């Protein structure tokens, strides 16, 4: 029996076990919406802006091991989705975005609500398709899900013209996909893995550097096993937080631009680094020349060969699925009893513990004004470290990364690569729908929240009881910090000064609003909010407008050239002590 | 350094723009690009001439390989290869220049493929340097129009790029 393209699409999504489609209807997708109306296999979530649909689908993916799906109409619907798609692309998030297109006879005629979506999205997708014939539709959807989820994951766009959704064909969903030009690697090269084990046995100051690839590759258990087996220090990147438990004594904190003193110093002075699903991003190592000035051996494990040796030279590249590679590496290490030099390792830990002592994350909290760091610490305590946390982009994002210890993967959801303001709230919705029984908190700022604040309405409609934590400092905080550091404190357009009454605003959308201005009220307010299991609570924390994120590494400087927090400012950097018993630098 | 990349790619709408888009988005150069379907009509082969450091070429190759439609990429520079480029050049040919032009075309093993009272159009094939040399050898004033395809390349001997 022949059914319409729209019905075929709905059947395909059901075949893929899609649970939610995040979207917004419009002329070009009305046929699809009609097909959605007539089925009950998956639910549709009506957002208030297409960007939010994509962010929600993205966070649905990030917070589960499932795949997010978004549906938007042609033209403006499609272009509104681009920021969300680019966000997912930068962070390698598996996702399928379906966009409507004008009818095939009209394509190229500048028709109403026409935009070349395949062209617009090309630079920010893993792959995209324009379906010109209804007979190709089912196979294309199958391919899209396959491409999005395999290899280095990423967003895939399917652009479907309106007449294709109306045309009819027999529904037949392919059982498997084979694309001759696409064969993502899985197993790492055994010889290279052996070499990595060998390097570890020669290491005097080994360091394990774990990125988002370990989270996406579901390799947290293997990462943890490796770090504990070797008894070496471990850092997570912003995207990797949770891949190794943040509360573990072997964890030295996040590294990079706003990383801890100990993590950055250890990265700089390590003699052997194992990079796991991490790509030596500019926000992580800052200046590659400075970074490599301490001769070091680098092992890099990544599924994407183009991420290997892109910014730094790598001694042992291992292309493969991170989970598989780590399993193989651990097996070899256990078998051969290969371990880093124990005596040197003990000295290395002494050095790291010296770097830890000044506590670069210390901040002064008095009784008068709330420090943003304090809110994060209390949030950690109140939620028992168990909440799924989404964040927007700015100072609050860094404070969260620094002060909320993430102990499991997929618990920390932020726009790391693209740095998209407006991500937090729709992401919290998506994460809450994927994890209906979890506490989900959105950490945001007065600037970020206003970029997609209309989603408070979606949260009302779908009863997503997220807890919004607005670190309100009346500034675009990160912009203000940079203007202080690099632009002579000329606060050009970083002062908001026209903020809405967030409490009333939350109430206007039918939610609970709270404003907290005293440090003593922080914890009680959080407890009260998280006790309201069924309600969205918007907590407007009036925080120190002058608080800055420390440590900080300025562009171009080395990891050992941090701007330290005020309490450490007069302190000399604790030097790397070459005379400890490491033996010679390799 | 100049490199010549051969790319086997699915013969699909939009595949070419993915390749060129990759170069422009990542700030790489395309010096020339030729493309046609192969003996297998589902596949096209591109020859891309580009330049850059070894690191840049490595990145270009890796990024090309990442494109879903790209079946295979080789750097022809890595071993012996042959390159050819086609040029059509229209020159003014009147009076005593007419014989001179004919002689020049013969010396470069070109063929005159169109003749009018005032002009010859010459077809010339060879490595890019040969075409450059021909242009240089002519009195610049007689050149009316040139069109060049850019290089196509193939490995020498047993070196074959095939699925």
The domain limits of chain B are: 2-78, 82-152
Q: Show the DSSP H helices in A233-341 as ranges.
A: 261-269, 282-285, 288-291, 322-336
Q: Which CATH superfamily is domain B2-78 in?
A: ACT domain (3.30.70.260)
Q: What is the pLDDT of residue A569?
A: 80
- More confidently predicted of B144 and A584: B144
> Is A398 one of the catalytic residues?
no
What percentage of residues in chain A have a pLDDT greater than 90?
Answer: 92
Of B13, B62, B71, the CB nearest to A305: B62
Cis ω on the peptide bond leading into residue A551 (within 30° of 0)?
yes
Is residue B160 less than 8 Å (CB to CB) from chain A?
no
What is the mean pLDDT of the segment spanning A195-213? 95
Nearest to B22 by CA among A156, A117, A306: A306
Q: What is the CA radius of gyration of chain A?
A: 25
Pair of tokens at residue B137: 């050898």
Query: Does pLDDT of A574 surpass 80?
Result: no
In total, chain B counts a number of residues equal to 163
> Is A65 one of the catalytic residues?
no
**Å from B53 to nearest chain A CA?**
13
Is residue B40 less than 8 Å (CB to CB) from chain A?
no
Q: Which CATH superfamily is domain B82-152 in?
A: ACT-like. Chain A, domain 2 (3.30.70.1150)
Which uninterrupted H or E stretch holds A181? none
**Where along chain A do the CATH 3.40.50.970 domains lie?**
2-170, 372-542
> Is A478 one of the catalytic residues?
yes
Q: What is the pLDDT of residue A570?
A: 76
Query: Does pLDDT of A581 surpass 60?
Result: no
- Count other C-beta atoms under 10 Å from residue B48's C-beta: 26
Query: Does pLDDT of A583 surpass 60?
Result: no
Contact B71 A179 (CB under 8 A): no
Of A142, A162, A327, A378, the active-site residue reads A162
pLDDT band with cut points at 50, 70 and 90 for residue A582:
low
**Where along chain A do the CATH 3.40.50.1220 domains lie?**
190-356
Give tens-digit pLDDT for A466-478: 999 999 999 999 9
pLDDT band with cut points at 50, 70 and 90 for residue A155:
very high
Decide: B109 and B118 in contact? Cβ < 8 Å.
no
Nearest to A378 by CA among A196, A527, A254: A527
Question: What's the CATH number for A372-542?
Answer: 3.40.50.970
Q: What is the pLDDT of residue A577?
A: 65
What percentage of residues in chain A have a pLDDT greater than 70?
Answer: 98
Quick one: A17 exposed, middle or buried, by C-beta within 10 A (0-12, 13-18, 19+)?
A: exposed
Question: What's the CATH number for A190-356?
Answer: 3.40.50.1220
Q: What is the pLDDT of residue A586?
A: 32
Q: What is the pLDDT of residue A293?
A: 87
Contact B14 A118 (CB under 8 A): yes
Of A50, A114, A222, A455, the active-site residue reads A50
CATH 3.40.50.970 applies to domain A2-170: yes
CA angle A271, A274, A277 (to 5 degrees): 150
Tell which B residues from 83 to 122 touch A, by Cβ distance under 8 Å: none
The rounded distance, in Å, linking the Cα atoms of A117 and A28 is 13
Of B13, B63, B69, the CB nearest to A181: B69
Contact A147 B14 (CB under 8 A): no
Pair of tokens at residue A424: 């937090």
Pair of tokens at residue A330: 């651990």
**Nearest-by-CA chain B residue for A178:** B68
The torsion of the CA quartet A511, A517, A523, A524, rounded to 10 degrees, works out to -60
> Is A113 one of the catalytic residues?
yes
* DSSP letter (8 states) at residue A274: E
- Count other C-beta atoms under 10 Å from residue A335's C-beta: 9
Q: Given the structure tokens 């990429």, which residue do they identify?
A: B73
B138 three-state secondary structure: coil
Is residue B62 less than 8 Å (CB to CB) from chain A?
yes
Examine domains B2-78 and B82-152 and report if their fold is the same: yes
Task: Provide, as residue numbers in chain B, all residues whose Cβ is less than 8 Å from the Cβ of A119.
Answer: 17
Decide: A548 and A259 in contact? Cβ < 8 Å.
no
Decide: B138 and B145 in contact? Cβ < 8 Å.
no
- In this prediction the pTM is 0.95
Task: Provide, as residue numbers in chain A, all residues whose Cβ is less than 8 Å from the Cβ of B21.
Answer: 122-123
Decide: B43 and B15 in contact? Cβ < 8 Å.
no
Is residue B13 less than 8 Å (CB to CB) from chain A?
yes
Task: Provide, as residue numbers in chain B, all residues whose Cβ is less than 8 Å from the Cβ of A300.
Answer: none
Query: Across all residues in chain A, what is the average pLDDT?
Result: 95
Pair of tokens at residue A448: 């970020």
> Is A291 one of the catalytic residues?
no
How far CA B115 is from CA of A323, B103, B105, B121, B146, in Å, comes to: 68, 15, 13, 6, 15
Give tens-digit pLDDT for A234-262: 999 999 999 999 999 999 999 999 999 99
């Amino acid at each position: 029996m022949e059914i319409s393209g729209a019905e075929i699409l709905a059947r395909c999504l059901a075949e893929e076990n899609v649970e939610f489609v995040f979207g917004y209807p419009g002329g070009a997708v009305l046929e699809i919406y009609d097909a959605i109306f007539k089925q009950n296999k998956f639910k549709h979530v009506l957002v208030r802006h297409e960007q939010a649909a994509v962010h929600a689908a993205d966070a649905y993916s990030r917070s589960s091991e499932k795949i997010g799906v978004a549906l938007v109409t042609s033209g403006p619907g499609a272009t509104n989705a681009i920021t969300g798609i680019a966000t997912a692309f930068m962070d390698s998030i598996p996702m399928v975005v379906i966009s409507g297109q004008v009818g095939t006879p009209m394509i190229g005629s500048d028709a109403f609500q026409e935009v070349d979506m395949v062209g617009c999205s090309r630079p920010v997708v893993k792959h995209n398709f324009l379906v010109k014939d209804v007979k190709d539709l089912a196979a294309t959807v199958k391919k899209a899900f396959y491409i999005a989820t395999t290899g280095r994951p990423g967003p895939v766009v399917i652009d479907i013209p309106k007449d294709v959704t109306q045309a009819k064909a027999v529904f037949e969903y392919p059982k498997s996909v084979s694309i001759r030009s696409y064969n993502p690697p899985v197993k790492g090269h055994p010889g290279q893995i052996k070499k990595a084990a060998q390097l570890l046995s020669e290491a005097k100051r080994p360091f394990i550097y774990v990125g988002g690839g370990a989270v996406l590759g579901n390799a947290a258990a293997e990462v943890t096993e490796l770090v504990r087996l070797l008894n070496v220090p471990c850092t997570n990147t912003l995207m990797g937080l949770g891949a190794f438990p943040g509360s573990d004594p072997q964890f030295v904190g996040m590294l990079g631009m706003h990383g801890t003193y100990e993590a950055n110093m250890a990265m700089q002075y390590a003699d052997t680094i194992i990079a796991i699903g991490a790509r030596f991003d500019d926000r992580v190592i800052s200046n590659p020349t400075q970074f490599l000035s301490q001769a070091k051996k680098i092992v890099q494990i990544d599924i994407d060969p183009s991420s290997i040796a892109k910014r730094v030279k790598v001694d042992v590249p291992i292309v493969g699925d991170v989970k598989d590679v780590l399993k193989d590496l651990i097996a070899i290490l256990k078998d051969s009893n290969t371990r880093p030099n124990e005596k040197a390792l003990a000295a290395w830990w002494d050095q790291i513990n010296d770097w830890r002592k000044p506590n670069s994350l210390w901040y002064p909290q008095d009784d008068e004004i709330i420090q943003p760091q304090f809110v994060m610490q209390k949030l950690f305590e109140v939620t028992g470290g168990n909440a799924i946390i989404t964040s927007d982009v700015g100072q609050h994002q860094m404070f969260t990364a620094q002060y909320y210890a993430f102990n499991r993967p997929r618990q920390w959801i932020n726009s790391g690569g693209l740095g998209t303001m407006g991500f937090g709230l729709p992401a919290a919705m998506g994460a809450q729908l994927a994890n209906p029984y979890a506490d989900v908190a959105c950490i945001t700022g007065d600037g970020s929240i206003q970029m997609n604040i209309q989603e408070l309405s979606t949260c009302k409609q779908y009863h997503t009881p997220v807890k919004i934590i607005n670190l309100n400092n009346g500034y675009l905080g990160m912009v203000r910090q940079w203007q202080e550091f690099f632009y002579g404190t000329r606060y050009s357009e970083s002062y908001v000064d026209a903020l809405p009454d967030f409490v009333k605003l939350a109430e206007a959308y039918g939610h609970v609003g709270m404003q907290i201005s005293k440090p003593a009220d922080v914890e009680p307010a959080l407890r009260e909010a998280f006790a309201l299991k069924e309600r969205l609570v918007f907590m407007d924390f009036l925080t120190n407008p002058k608080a800055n994120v420390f440590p900080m590494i300025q562009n171009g400087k080395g990891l050992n050239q941090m701007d330290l927090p005020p309490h450490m400012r007069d302190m000399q950097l604790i030097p790397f002590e070459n005379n400890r018993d490491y033996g010679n630098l390799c | 350094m100049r490199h010549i990349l051969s790319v086997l790619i699915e013969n699909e709408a939009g595949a070419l723009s993915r390749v060129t888009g990759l170069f422009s988005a990542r700030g790489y150069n395309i010096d020339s690009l030729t493309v046609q379907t192969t003996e297998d009509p589902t596949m096209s082969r591109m020859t891309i001439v580009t330049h850059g450091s070894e690191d840049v070429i490595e990145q270009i190759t890796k990024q090309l390989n990442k494109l879903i439609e790209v079946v295979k990429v080789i750097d022809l520079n890595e071993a012996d290869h042959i390159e050819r480029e086609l040029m059509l050049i229209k020159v003014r040919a009147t009076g005593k220049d007419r014989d001179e032009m004919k002689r020049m075309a013969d010396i470069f093993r070109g063929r005159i493929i169109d003749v009018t009272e005032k002009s010859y159009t010459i077809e010339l094939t060879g490595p890019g340097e040969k075409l450059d040399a021909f242009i240089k050898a002519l009195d610049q004033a007689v050149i009316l129009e040139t069109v060049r395809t850019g290089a196509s390349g193939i490995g020498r001997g047993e070196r074959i790029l095939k699925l």
